[in-house]
Amino acid sequence: MSAPTVRRRRLGAKLRTLRGDLTLDQLAEKSSGRFVASKVSRIETAKTAAKAKDVEALLDLYAAAGREVSEELRAALLTLTKEGGQRGWWHSYRGVLTPVYEDLISLEAEAEAVSSWQLGAIPGLLHTAEYAREIIGATAMSEAVEARVDALVEVRLARQAVLTREEPLALWAIIGEGALRSSSEGEGVMHEQLGRLLTIGKRPNVNVQVLPSDAPLHVGQLGSFTILGFGPHIDLDVVHAEGLTSALYIEEADKVAAHRDAWQRLTSAALSVEASAELIAKIRKNT
């Protein structure tokens, strides 16, 4: 059995919340034998992948028990379930990507919005090919990563399709000024990358803000993070925090809320979208 994905854990946690004070044995009894306690427990703890028909039946049971199961929530949970069994384009890179990175790509593909704070680098969804190549190479901490830089650059660029799909992802990126002033080994890399920020920042679904280097001390100095949002159901939102050798997913509602509050503070401290574009253009002239 594969390791539980973030998607499965989110689905299981929501189903557990809907069950409320019903015990597993009581649920099994209400289902007239369709569900045994152990099966529901495995779904809730993400130890097994749920089938759409089982999730549908559970939601029917919870609705009959008086739980609030809106059509929007039902659709969101069934999407989590069904898409979990589909093969995304990233599966062809299975030998290149870690399971954690696959989770991030699948979550981006399902999310409605991404709110990103990056202290020292430009967000991956906004990379040019050459900037991606340099940053992947510069942060590679193993020979295995160094050996697959070309494939990882392909993946990074392919991820950006979420910004131009039929119903595009809404991206709001806050970037530390220092990331824009980084030097590069390749000629024109930063010039091209900053131009990319200016161009894509004109899209209606993309906002780019810059947090100046001389800003007062702020919460973002504790590290970068990204909030993946799933529409009106904020309890399905996930925070992704990436470190040097690992990445962390944060799903607990109170901790996600804390990151959301931190992001709001950062967007208030950053330059406006218009002033940010002016600063990016000014820095670009000197690259």
Q: Could you state, in order of their start, the residue ranges of all structural domains in the chain?
A: 6-84, 98-125+162-285
Kindly list the distances between the CA atom of residue 218 and the CA atoms of 80, 221, 222, 261, 272, in Å, as whole numbers in the listed order: 35, 6, 8, 12, 17
Angle between helices 71-84 and 99-110 (to 10 degrees): 140
Per-residue pLDDT at 235 exceeds 80: no
Dump pLDDT digits (tens) for 121-159.
999 999 999 999 999 999 888 877 878 999 999 999 999
Dump pLDDT digits (tens) for 260-280.
999 999 999 999 999 999 999
Judge contact between 61 and 27, C-beta under 8 A.
Answer: yes
Look over the chain and give the mean of its residue pLDDT values, rounded to a whole number. Answer: 91
Confidence at residue 186, expressed as pLDDT on a 0 to 100 scale: 86
pLDDT-above-70 percentage for the chain: 96
- 49-62 burial string, b = 16+ CB within 10 Å, else e? bbeeebbeebbebb
Judge contact between 251 and 242, C-beta under 8 A.
Answer: no
Q: Which CATH architecture has domain 98-125+162-285?
A: 2-Layer Sandwich (3.30)
Per-residue pLDDT at 174 exceeds 90: yes
Check the CA dihedral 90-208-259-135 and report its sign.
Answer: positive
Confidence at residue 56, expressed as pLDDT on a 0 to 100 scale: 94
| Confidence label for 3 from pLDDT (cuts 50, 70 and 90) | very low
Per-residue pLDDT at 4 exceeds 70: no
Q: Which CATH number fits domain 6-84: 3.30.465.10, 3.30.470.10, 3.20.10.10, 1.10.260.40?
A: 1.10.260.40
| Confidence label for 79 from pLDDT (cuts 50, 70 and 90) | confident
